[in-house]
A and B are shown apart, each in its own frame.
Chain A
């Protein structure tokens, strides 16, 4: 991926992410999250992960965010005035954010790499990387257990949702 293209995409991503946090209208905020997810998919695409990019758009931008938007519109949430959080919350948030920043810097500079050339990024990709076949093979061999456990988790969540909704109806 060319650095210029990455910088443009990263800028779009950050603007989108800032919009999610800073916009006061809930609908605009949710739409900003859609834009962020969309640019994330483009970044995946440029990292040779075509399948992940497509799934990102189909699942997150195309399905989950639609439900978010639905709920916001049905509840008819109005734009809030920016609430000033209590001092304790602000200190905790600042602490969490700096911890995260530290972790990112540590990750990028581990093993002698630098911020601009992190180790491992320049090595050529293995054959079939990011392709549907490559991903499917990993999913059904090395990560089979995690894959199956996730599907059980999802089934449990669906059953739970149905049970909770039914209880309210009767």
Chain B
């Protein structure tokens, strides 16, 4: 009993530490990535209280320390409770959404089978979708509770955008669910361990190339970053819904962006790129197509799986940073047209075709 609780706590800690560190690291990757793309050197030195010796560690620490040390200003005439609540309500759903994403297969220790997933849920994908849909409250609340017209406009833009793109995202997920026949994210990843024709790993991208593109685009719209950063469009709205935030509350909005990038990257990895699967790696070692087999101890297999998940996650985070710094911002009517007249019909068609193919293969 106590061992079970301990295991659950360790797994949850592992996931939350991954999510928080990812946010911190991505802040730095974003600065360095933008510098790389714009042919600059970028953040390469930071002097914290007269100490500049630790190199990269200093640069990583500088941003959060700066935000924490700044004054937290609450503007006059606002609902103070809701103003403080808004950043918490934004960050919380993004962090807990990670709980259902599996980061490895199973670990067997002393007759105990541990699923490497913080919360094994049979409706995992719906849970992640539910948490992402709760994220909209923070945006609406921050916009409203700031007592500032720019904030309110940003909040309204943000919520309209998130609600619109949730539909396209949902449809991409429906198509994936139809082709896997389950809502359980762990089962989906296991299904991607099969080999097509004895050599090609059956990753989701082969079944759902259109679904992947819709999901990537809708996911970027959900995380409200360039080219979808209209809710905070600084040339029009100062900083949109978080104009009136400073200090650690601003940091929380900043972190939410990066955690959401991580959730989108994690879902893309899980649904379309085999999650923790390493090609040809089974529970007892590598089984190569030619019939060669390399046996591996269980711990090595599990570590390889976790490494595979982490590498893929990092790759798709980087892809989103790359897109963010290579695209101009959409106009608002373009965002709405793309969502409702572009991604939504394509998504519906994708579900229809997927359903027809699955039925034809069964019958």
Contacts and interface: CB of A to CB of B under 8 A. Distances in A.
A and B physically associate:
yes
Interface stretch (A58-66, A96-104, A142-150): A58-66
A25 B78 CA distance: 13
Contacts of B265: none
B286 interface: no
Contact of A63 (B79, B123, B133, B152): B133
B159 interface: yes
Interface in A69-122: 69-70, 73-74
B121 interface: yes
Contacts of B122: 50, 131-132
B296 interface: no
A23 B277 CA distance: 51
Contacts of A54: 123, 126-127, 129-130
**How large, as a class, is the contact surface on chain A?**
20 to 34
B133 A62 contact: yes
B114 interface: no
Nearest to A73: B144
A51 B152 CA distance: 35
Contacts of B220: none
Contacts of A53: 123
A57 interface: yes
A74 B143 CA distance: 12
Interface of B is mostly: helix
A66 B163 contact: yes
A66 B123 contact: no
Interface in B142-175: 144, 152, 155-156, 159, 163, 166
B179 to A, nearest CB: 16
Interface residues of B, number: 25
User: Which of B126, B130, B136, B163 has the most CB atoms of chain A within a 10 A radius of its CB?
Assistant: B130
A13 interface: no
A22 interface: no
Contact of A58 (B129, B155, B159): B129
A70 B144 CA distance: 10
A50 B130 contact: no
Contact of A50 (B123, B134, B152): B123
A55 interface: yes
Given A27-B144, A73-B152, A132-B183, A62 B126 contact: no
Contacts of A58: 126, 129-130, 133
Interface in A130-145: 131-132
A63 B166 CA distance: 10
Contact of B159 (A28, A31, A34, A70): A70
Interface in B241-266: none
User: Which of B121, B123, B126, B152 has the most CB atoms of chain A within a 10 A radius of its CB?
Assistant: B123
A63 B127 contact: no
B140 A66 contact: yes
Contacts of A25: 79
Contacts of A28: 79, 81-82
Given A25-B79, A132-B123, A66 B137 contact: yes
B130 A27 contact: no
29 contacts: A25-B79, A27-B79, A27-B144, A28-B79, A28-B82, A31-B82, A31-B137, A50-B121, A50-B122, A50-B123, A51-B123, A53-B123, A54-B127, A55-B126, A57-B133, A57-B134, A58-B129, A61-B133, A61-B134, A62-B133, A62-B166, A63-B133, A63-B166, A66-B140, A66-B159, A69-B137, A70-B140, A73-B155, A73-B156
Counting from the closest, the 8 A-B pairs by CB-CB distance are: A62-B133, A54-B126, A57-B130, A58-B130, A54-B123, A50-B123, A73-B144, A51-B123
Interface of A: 25, 27-28, 31, 34, 50-51, 53-55, 57-58, 61-63, 66, 69-70, 73-74, 131-132
